[in-house]
Chains A and B, each alone.
Chain A
């Protein structure tokens, strides 16, 4: 590879901990520490911690920041209450997905957008383009990805763990934040006492937890503190299995410029009213229907369908796999993929061509895994 990959503020900590590093989205990232299966289990039963500093932290502020986002995102920004977060797509005019993102409304005129690592430059350029064309002077864009770190602390015990180490600005505990809300606060423990932390009750694993923005200079101390209090270091390998079990799409697999949120089953993240980029194309798809749909596929065995494998009906190709893995939580192999709509109903029996072996699969509803409800 001619270009060198970027390193997160935690790179040295990962290497020192024996993580296996791989290139991902232009960054050198840990794919695993102890092992993917053990790490998945830690997140499903305790607390796992992920370095997701490779993802973007893009701040938008100004009197027209909300209007810009209303134009660029499939979800409304101006109707989102301050202190809340929302998941949606960034689409092009044709309704193709440039990226998917969670965004947070920090203040009346200030938002935080978290694009995927490999799409960050493109998303920032896209935002700037539309500021220039429609909202000139009304919105500042500040990409703070390299000045900050982003940690995801995920699992049924994550909230308890974070409560022991952080407090919100109003003196309350982070566990008081509801899902998809955010809070600013400070560390209460270790060498980080009184240093700032931003907490969002969000994640990408199907479990409860937080995503935490810290200054790059504090990232390694924050990581060490969380790990020393019981969070299990997890890599991108486990993260990919967890998000697949939770039925969450990964840009470049389930969604990309050639797929639409309607095909991907993400209609609920696309508002039906108003004009925004892609709105016309997406409304038409909603009305006329689409040719293919994203489905969940479950197998009885442990051999996994992988991305790009053919999905067959009576030997004829009717679709392709976008992601697949052995699921330790379900103890069977699972996959997501696109099939022609007439084969997309749950219960439909199909085959996946696993390296020349047609292997029976069944269409199942997504997600594969939903976390058990707990009494608080």
Chain B
């Protein structure tokens, strides 16, 4: 199930605002995405300090059978990268909304969130795929 405190993209990324005042948010991929990918073995993520742009490619996720582009759900600056995933990419499968988060960003425009799907909208979206 997709948590209600996240917003979602059609490319199956989620973004969760942690601190609205500072515009801080966590970004990851959804449970649906990890399930479709299968066992994740490698992630190519942006560097801390780099900029990401909404809907632009920000990295790649590789599973045994597939490689998939990661798109940033929001624009902003990368504050932190989940480096635990280098040694434990399986966390993306095990806990995609928790320990499997990908990056922490400072959003440049919180209004971008308005264009993303709510949990209910995302659930309805994936049920039609």
Residues on A lying within 8 angstroms of B by beta carbon are 20, 31-32, 35-38, 237, 240-241, 301-304, 306, 325-326, 355
Instruction: Name A303's contact: one of B39, B42, B90 (CB within 8 Å).
Output: B42
Task: Name the A residues within 8 Å of B42 (CB-CB).
Answer: 301-304, 326
Closest 6 CB pairs of A and B: A326-B41, A302-B42, A36-B64, A37-B39, A303-B42, A302-B41
Instruction: Name A241's contact: one of B64, B89, B93 (CB within 8 Å).
Output: B64
Contact between B38 and A32, CB atoms less than 8 A apart: yes
Task: Name the A residues within 8 Å of B38 (CB-CB).
Answer: 20, 32, 35-36, 237
B65 at the interface (CB under 8 A from A): yes
Task: Name the B residues within 8 Å of A20 (CB-CB).
Answer: 38
B67 at the interface (CB under 8 A from A): yes
Task: Name the A residues within 8 Å of B93 (CB-CB).
Answer: 35
B 52-71 to A, binary, CB cutoff 8 A, 1 in contact else 0: 00000000101111010000
Contact between B44 and A325, CB atoms less than 8 A apart: no
Task: Name the A residues within 8 Å of B60 (CB-CB).
Answer: 355
For the side of the interface on B, what is the size category?
10 to 19
Q: How far is the CB of A154 from chain B (nearest CB, A)?
A: 18
A-B contact pairs, 10 of them (CB 8 A): A31-B65, A35-B38, A35-B93, A36-B38, A36-B64, A37-B64, A237-B64, A237-B65, A302-B89, A325-B65
Q: Given known contacts A240-B65, A304-B42, A304-B62, what 17 new A-B pairs fall within 8 Å (CB)? A: A31-B65, A32-B38, A35-B38, A35-B39, A35-B93, A36-B64, A36-B65, A37-B41, A38-B39, A241-B64, A302-B41, A302-B62, A304-B41, A306-B67, A325-B65, A326-B42, A326-B62
Task: Name the A residues within 8 Å of B62 (CB-CB).
Answer: 302-304, 326
Among residues of A, the one whose C-beta sits closest to the C-beta of B65 is A237
Interface core residue of B39, B44, B63, B67 (most chain A CB under 10 Å): B39
In the complex, the number of residue pairs spanning A and B with C-beta atoms less than 8 Å apart equals 42
Among residues of A, the one whose C-beta sits closest to the C-beta of B63 is A36
Task: Name the B residues within 8 Å of A302 (CB-CB).
Answer: 41-42, 62, 89
Among residues of B, the one whose C-beta sits closest to the C-beta of A325 is B64
Task: Name the A residues within 8 Å of B63 (CB-CB).
Answer: 36
Among residues of B, the one whose C-beta sits closest to the C-beta of A40 is B64
Give CA–CA (A237, B64) in the complex, Å. Answer: 8
Contact between B67 and A326, CB atoms less than 8 A apart: no
Give CA–CA (A234, B38) in the complex, Å. Answer: 14
Instruction: Name A36's contact: one of B39, B44, B67, B89 (CB within 8 Å).
Output: B39
Give CA–CA (A240, B67) in the complex, Å. Answer: 16
Among residues of B, the one whose C-beta sits closest to the C-beta of A31 is B65
Give CA–CA (A304, B39) in the complex, Å. Answer: 13
Q: How far is the CB of A167 from chain B (nearest CB, A)?
A: 37
Q: How far is the CB of B68 from chain A (nearest CB, A)?
A: 11
Task: Name the B residues within 8 Å of A35 (CB-CB).
Answer: 38-39, 93
Taking CB atoms and an 8 Å cut-off, the chain B residues in 75-117 that contact chain A are 89-90, 93
Give CA–CA (A355, B68) in the complex, Å. Answer: 11
Give CA–CA (A237, B36) in the complex, Å. Answer: 13
Give CA–CA (A303, B68) in the complex, Å. Answer: 12
Give CA–CA (A37, B63) in the complex, Å. Answer: 10
Q: How far is the CB of B41 from chain A (nearest CB, A)?
A: 4
Task: Name the A residues within 8 Å of B65 (CB-CB).
Answer: 31, 36, 237, 240, 325
Task: Name the B residues within 8 Å of A31 (CB-CB).
Answer: 65
Given contacts A32-B38, A36-B38, contact A303 B44 (CB under 8 A): yes
Contact between B41 and A355, CB atoms less than 8 A apart: no
Give CA–CA (A38, B93) in the complex, Å. Answer: 13
Q: How far is the CB of A352 from chain B (nearest CB, A)?
A: 13
Give CA–CA (A134, B41) in the complex, Å. Answer: 52
Q: How far is the CB of A355 from chain B (nearest CB, A)?
A: 7
Among residues of A, the one whose C-beta sits closest to the C-beta of B67 is A306
Among residues of B, the one whose C-beta sits closest to the C-beta of A302 is B42
Among residues of B, the one whose C-beta sits closest to the C-beta of A240 is B65
Task: Name the B residues within 8 Å of A36 (CB-CB).
Answer: 38-39, 63-65
Q: How far is the CB of A310 from chain B (nearest CB, A)?
A: 16
Task: Name the B residues within 8 Å of A240 (CB-CB).
Answer: 65
Given contacts A35-B39, A237-B38, A302-B89, contact A326 B64 (CB under 8 A): yes
Give CA–CA (A101, B67) in the complex, Å. Answer: 31
Task: Name the B residues within 8 Å of A237 (CB-CB).
Answer: 38, 64-65
Give CA–CA (A295, B63) in the complex, Å. Answer: 23
Task: Name the B residues within 8 Å of A325 (CB-CB).
Answer: 64-65
Q: How far is the CB of A176 from chain B (nearest CB, A)?
A: 36
Task: Name the B residues within 8 Å of A306 (CB-CB).
Answer: 67
